[in-house]
């Protein structure tokens, strides 16, 4: 049929085969003038569903607006827009706790990437969830546990079951009677806390380590351990802030410490040393560092020992003084600068009662006087000169000394009358005479009249005077214990009530004292844990060393 003018009915017939036709075309009035009716009028009576011989019922409605939009790159709902408003099928990203819900995006008639992003994995914990997002729940969530205290402490494991931990698998040990053995035998959390005759009787301080002699004869050390100066045999452990037992020493009667080595006089008269041995200061005939004690060659009758810097000395039963190690400027009493890997006798001395090693000098005394030898650049030999001596020189007019102590470059003597005399280097008031001028002869320290003990550090000095513990000299690390870091040219009281001190020692940058109870108090430089209080903090006032009893 030749079409002239396109009628609405004709357009609808055409749109039955397209999806762009809208529902508004259906039901438009027919133009009676232009309509061509079929010659067969057998169905004209009702005219239901037929217009111009074309069926415009269900088929036309389905194609033009009855469909729901789906992701197929077609305009199913006949609104002129393809695949609009579609989020796609549900989807998820990640696994376990990282799973997140989303929808696939509809593009080009198909579903593409999920619009969800997986969560971030966390550390797996015992909570019934897959925290680390690996598909497993609570794996590797077991934890270590401990039960009991002190020697009764036992290690075990808590297993993660069903999102919660099981009881610790360990069983506490059984308490026993406390004895002085460096162990918490009664499991109360205190080492030797109730043991009879326990606690310290002496301390010895090096540059970065400290040691204490216990009443039972054992020795403990703490602080830096890079050269084995703690004597516990440990390797890879560079320091300890708590006392650790020296291996194999149970009958010591005296201890002494150099810069990085320590020695113990044993009840048999033999001497054992450990730590740095670069100068032969361990006296075992080698220069090998020892992380556990080694015996000093040929010494079986020692009655006193001393150490500082890189050399050590001892007094034998007959009063002979022997020394070994570094001999810079004659500290061993040898007529050369060569050191010795084994003990050598200091010539020219009468029987001695006491010997004290300084940095590179040594002094000794008996009932008749005080004698010193070695480096003398600051007058630390006390002979009125600054000339180093390779043999003992007498300190003039000093016949009533009852105790000696020596620092790096100074020396002090306590007299029977209770006064203290010092000589040598006086930087920062090391001599305690109110000045900073070096002295080559003994001079009074701050008018002390009731001194009962004296101890020298590298560049500071301390004394127990009456009911007070006093210190003077260099104080950059708080080693004077008076709550400041300012140097003092005269004796100043140490903070706290320490009038019951029975022994004390000075290190390079710190000081320690033993009380009548056996407790040990330390103050000054705290790096490497050398104050023994379980920390690595410097202290300008005394703190107690832990685990020493009572």
- Name which of 269, 275, 347 is nearest 304 in CA terms: 269
Q: What is the mean pLDDT of residues 204-212?
A: 98
User: What was the pLDDT predicted at 359?
Assistant: 96
Least Cα distance to 57 among 6, 14, 10, 13 occurs for: 13
Q: Which of 2-16, 118-132, 313-327, 438-452 has the highest mean pLDDT?
A: 313-327
**Angle (nearest 5°) at CA 510 between 507 and 513:** 85
Residue 529 per-residue DSSP state: G
The 3-state DSSP class for residue 8 equals helix
- For residue 414, the domain's CATH number is 2.130.10.30
Q: What pLDDT does residue 270 have? A: 98
- pLDDT over 60 (residue 208): yes
Q: Within a 10 A sphere around the Cβ of 392, how many other Cβ atoms?
A: 25
Based on the fold, state whether residues 221 and 177 are members of the same structural domain: no
Averaged pLDDT, 377-390: 97
Q: What share of the chain is helix, strand, coil (3-state, %, to 5)?
A: 5, 35, 60
d(CA 255, CA 527): 22
Asked, for residue 104, whether it belongs to a domain, the answer is no
Contact indicator for 507, 205 with CB cutoff of 8 Å: yes
How would residue 47 be classed by pLDDT, with cut points 50, 70 and 90?
very low
**Phi, psi (5° rounding) for residue 370?**
-120, 140
Q: Does some domain include residue 395?
A: yes
Q: Is 508 among the domain residues? A: yes
Q: What is the DSSP string of 532-549?
A: -SSS---EEEEEEPSSS-
Average per-residue pLDDT for the chain: 86
Residue appearing with tokens 């794996």: 139
Judgement on whether residues 76 and 191 belong to the same structural domain of the protein: no
Q: Tokens 């696939």 belong to which residue?
A: 104
Q: Is the pLDDT of residue 27 over 50?
A: no
Q: 22 pLDDT exceeds 70? A: no
Considering the domain boundaries, does residue 89 fall inside one?
no
Note whether 188 and 209 are same-domain residues: no
Average pLDDT (366-392) is 97
Query: Quick check: is 531 in a domain?
Result: yes
Q: What is the DSSP secondary structure assignment for residue 168, as one 8-state letter?
A: P
Q: How many domains does the chain have?
A: 3
Q: Whole-angstrom distance between the N-terminal and C-terminal Cα of the chain?
A: 123
Report which of 276, 322, 319, 318 is spatially closest to residue 297, judged by C-alpha positions.
Answer: 322
Tell whether 454 is covered by a domain: yes
Instruction: Give DSSP secondary structure letters for 424-436.
Output: E--GGGTT-SSS-
* Cα–Cα distance for residue pair 338/24, rounded to 1 Å: 118
Report the pLDDT value the prediction gives residue 293, as an integer from 0 to 100: 98
pLDDT of residue 462: 97
From the list 291, 290, 322, 286, the residue with the least C-alpha distance to 304 is 322
The first and second tokens of residue 36, run together, are 């061509």
| CA 545 to the chain's CA centroid | 17
More confident residue, 12 or 322: 322
The residue ranges of DSSP E strands in 152-251, in sequence order, are 154-158, 160-161, 164-165, 200-205, 209-214, 219-224, 239-245
Shared-domain flag, residues 275 and 312: yes
Torsion, CA 320, CA 323, CA 329, CA 335, rounded to 10? 60
For residues 78 and 210, membership in a common domain is answered with no
Residues 74 and 185: their CA atoms lie apart, in Å, by 86
Own/partner long-range contacts of 173-177 (Cβ < 8 Å, ≥24 apart):
173/148, 175/151, 176/151
Q: What is the distance between the alpha carbons of residues 535 and 236, in angstroms, rounded to a whole number?
A: 19
Residues 327 and 208 in one domain: yes
Within 8 A by CB and 6+ apart from 527, the residues are: 208, 224, 536, 538
One domain, residues 235 and 191: no
In a domain, 266, yes or no: yes
Element (H, E) at 406: strand 401-406
State yes or no: pLDDT of 108 exceeds 80.
no
Residues 277, 285 contacting (CB under 8 angstroms): no
- Same domain membership, residue 76 and residue 185: no
pLDDT at res. 87: 67
**Whether residue 306 is found in the same domain as residue 176:** no
Q: What's the pLDDT score for residue 101?
A: 87
For 156, other C-beta atoms within 10 Å of its C-beta total 13
**230 and 194 assigned to the same domain:** no
The answer to whether position 290 is within a domain reads yes
Residue-number span of the structural domain to which 182 is assigned:
143-151+168-198
Q: How confident is the model at residue 196 (pLDDT cuts 50, 70, 90)?
A: low
Q: Decide the pairing of beta strands 290-295 and 271-275.
A: antiparallel
> How much is the pLDDT for 86?
72
Tell whether the model's pLDDT for residue 41 goes beyond 70. no
| Same-domain status, 188 and 317 | no
Q: What is the DSSP string of 231-283?
A: -S--SS--EEEEEEEPTT---EEEEEE-SSEEEEEETTS-EEEEE--TTSTT-
Looking at the chain, the whole-number percentage of residues with pLDDT higher than 70 is 85
pLDDT of 66 above 60 = no
- Scan for tokens 């009911």, then name that residue: 467
Name the residue with higher pLDDT: 140 or 404.
Answer: 404
Task: Indicate whether 192 and 262 sit together in one domain.
Answer: no
């Amino acid at each position: 049929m030749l079409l002239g003018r396109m009628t609405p009915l004709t357009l609808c017939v055409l749109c039955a085969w397209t999806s762009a036709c809208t529902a508004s075309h259906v039901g438009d009035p027919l133009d009676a003038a232009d309509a061509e009716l079929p010659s067969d009028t057998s169905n004209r009576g009702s005219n239901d569903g037929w217009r111009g011989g074309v069926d415009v019922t269900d088929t036309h409605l389905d194609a033009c607006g009855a469909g729901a939009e789906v992701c197929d790159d077609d305009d199913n709902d006949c609104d002129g827009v393809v695949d609009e408003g579609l989020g796609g099928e549900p989807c998820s990203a990640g696994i376990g706790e990282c799973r997140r819900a989303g929808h696939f995006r509809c593009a080009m008639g198909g579903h593409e990437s999920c619009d969800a992003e997986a969560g971030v994995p966390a550390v797996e914990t015992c909570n019934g969830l897959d925290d680390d997002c690996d598909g497993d729940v609570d794996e590797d969530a077991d934890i270590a546990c401990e039960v009991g205290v002190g020697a009764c402490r036992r290690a075990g494991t808590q297993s993660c079951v069903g999102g919660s931990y099981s009881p610790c698998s360990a069983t506490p040990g059984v308490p026993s009677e406390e004895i002085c053995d460096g162990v918490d035998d009664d499991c109360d959390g205190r080492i030797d806390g109730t043991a009879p005759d326990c606690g310290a009787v002496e301390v010895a301080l090096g540059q970065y380590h400290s040691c204490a002699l216990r009443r039972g004869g054992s020795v403990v050390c703490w602080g830096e351990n890079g050269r084995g100066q703690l004597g516990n045999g440990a390797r890879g452990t560079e320091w300890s802030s708590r006392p650790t037992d020296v291996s194999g020493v149970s009958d010591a009667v005296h201890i002494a410490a150099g810069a990085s080595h320590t020695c113990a006089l044993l009840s048999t008269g033999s001497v054992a040393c450990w730590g740095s041995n670069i100068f032969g200061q361990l006296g075992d005939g080698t220069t090998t560092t020892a992380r556990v004690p080694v015996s000093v060659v040929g010494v079986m009758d020692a009655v006193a020992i001393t150490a500082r810097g890189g050399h050590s000395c001892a007094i034998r039963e007959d009063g002979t003084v022997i020394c070994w190690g570094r001999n810079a400027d004659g500290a061993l009493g040898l007529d050369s600068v060569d050191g010795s890997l084994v003990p050598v006798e200091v010539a020219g001395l009468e029987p001695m009662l006491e010997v004290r090693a300084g940095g590179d000098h040594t002094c000794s005394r008996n009932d008749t006087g005080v004698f010193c030898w070695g480096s003398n650049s600051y007058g630390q030999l006390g002979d009125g000169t600054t000339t180093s001596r390779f043999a003992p020189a007498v300190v003039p007019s000093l016949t009533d000394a009852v105790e000696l102590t020596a620092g790096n470059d100074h020396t002090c003597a306590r007299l029977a009358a209770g006064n203290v005399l010092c000589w040598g280097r006086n930087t920062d008031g090391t001599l305690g005479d109110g000045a900073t001028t070096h002295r080559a002869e003994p001079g009074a320290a701050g008018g002390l009249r009731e001194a009962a003990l004296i101890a020298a550090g590298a560049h500071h000095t301390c004394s127990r005077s009456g009911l007070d513990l006093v210190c003077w000299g260099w104080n950059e690390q708080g080693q004077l214990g008076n709550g400041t870091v300012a140097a003092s040219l005269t004796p100043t009281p140490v903070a706290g009530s320490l009038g019951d001190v029975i022994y004390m020692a000075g290190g390079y940058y710190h000081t320690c004292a033993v009380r009548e109870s056996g407790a040990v108090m330390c103050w000054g430089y705290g790096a490497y844990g050398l104050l023994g209080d379980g920390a690595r903090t410097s202290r300008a006032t005394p703190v107690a060393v832990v685990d020493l009893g009572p």
